[in-house]
Amino acid sequence: MTTIRSLAPSIILAAIMGMASTSWAAYPQTLTSPYPWVNMPRPTDDPRWSKAFEHWDQRGETEQARAAIAIIEEIARDKPGDYVAQLWLCRMNFLMAMRDLNNRANYCKKSIAAGDQALKIKPRDMLASYWRFNSIQLLRDMAEQEYQQFHEIFLKYRHLRPLPVPESDPELWAEALKKWDARTDPEQARAAIEDFKKLAAKRPGQIEPKIYIATAFYYVSDFETTEEATAEVVFNGVDYARQAVQIEPRNPAANLAVALTLGHYGDNKGMVTIVRHSIEIAKSLQVVIEEDPTHMYGGFSRYIAEALAKVGEVALYVCSILGFPKDQVNRVTIYSTKLEPACLDNHLELAKMYISFGKMDEAKKTLEKVINADPAVLKYYEPENIMDQKEAQEIYDKHFK
């Protein structure tokens, strides 16, 4: 099992049926994401900021995002030395680059320019660098120096668990996480779910237990031996994932949990179920990318790579419609393996993509890298790495042994 293995057919239909849609509900700012670039500063020294954030908090509607940008552009013109205004223009134009596919290059350039201005005012600022680098990644190849600067930020501020552990109920959290970290044993994984449920029952408004429950059901479902049983188990996690999104609609981890559980459920129930849930999956994935492009050890490139492995040229066609041509798909997938080489899922999906492109020598070398790696290098992710190695060996035996 990999973190996204079973999502592929669903993401293809999701893309076709609405991933580029912009008419979604209003969303407040995410509050509990561990990533500082998700929780941007909100100044109050100018009343125009309050109006801008009223629009931004409804950024699911693209016109609301545009309205927020217009106000902050006005602030930036009036206050050319305002670092925060430039920071927000950098971040907001990245979102527009994801939304407005026809004008993606223009919005990327605007984001990069605003990031440059913010960094002139506040050199080596982490927030400006993060959003600037992601816009560069959408627009073109990074220079080696640019990549090294971004990698330094990514490694320094990444969180190895999906969310920080709340300070409440420390003993129960410690017990739950102890079992979860031993999840290669299905009994330990199932016992962890029961502890996470206790935490969720004690604090129904807390998002973290719900995300862990959803993720755990996704994981343990692969211990089942039939598609029907797998679907039944993973669907138990869907409701918890949706509850997490209700608490924080723009939380990347919560939205990823929705996409994973629904995608895995659909893939085990059949095409009709995939179609039924495709728009919800698409919406959740788009939120993940817009709010935290490098979420889960390297970002959205792994979704695309997995889709390519399953349906090849059809996926390339859909990706091109969404603004990701073949050369960029190839580039961002390789990029994810550089960004987090200890995540074996990145390399596994790259190998699958190589196979779909007929690049068998590259696929063989990449699979060998996965098979021979130390799965324990990436803390808290060893169980997934072990499962990735098992799948890599199966693919290697099929094509090369």
CB < 8 Å & 24+ apart, contacts of 40-43: 40/87, 40/88, 40/91, 40/127, 41/84, 41/87, 41/127, 43/84
% pLDDT > 70, the chain: 82
Res. 10 pLDDT band, cuts 50 70 90: very low
Dihedral pair phi/psi, residue 61, rounded to 5°: -95, 120
> Is pLDDT larger for residue 161 or for residue 253?
253
* Listed range (21-30, 198-207, 247-256, 358-367) with the worst mean pLDDT: 21-30
* Mean pLDDT score, 280-294: 83
pTM of the model: 0.84
- Asked if 108 contacts 139 with a C-beta cutoff of 8 angstroms, the reply is yes
Q: Which of 109-113, 227-231, 305-309, 325-329 has the highest mean pLDDT?
A: 109-113
pLDDT of residue 148: 86
Eight-class DSSP state of 222:
G
Residue 35 gets the label, from left (phi > 0), alpha (psi -120 to 50) or beta, of beta
Q: What is the mean pLDDT of residues 255-272?
A: 85
pLDDT at 240: 97
What's the pLDDT score for residue 310? 53
Which alpha helices (DSSP H) does 25-143 contain, by range? 47-56, 62-78, 83-99, 104-121, 126-139
Q: What is the mean pLDDT of the chain?
A: 84
Query: Phi and psi dihedrals of 23, rounded to 5?
Result: -100, 70
Mean pLDDT across 328-338: 74
Residue 31: what pLDDT?
A: 62
Comparing CA positions, the residue from 345, 326, 327 lying closest to residue 392 is: 345
In this prediction, residue 312 carries a pLDDT of 57
- Give the C-alpha separation, 260 to 341, whole Å: 22
* Structure confidence at residue 17 (pLDDT): 38
pLDDT class of 299 with cuts at 50, 70, 90: low
The predicted model gives 4-29 an average pLDDT of 42
> How far is it, in rounded angstroms, from Cα 10 to Cα 102?
25
Chain segment 226-239, per-residue pLDDT in tens: 999 999 999 999 99
Three-class SS state of 23: strand
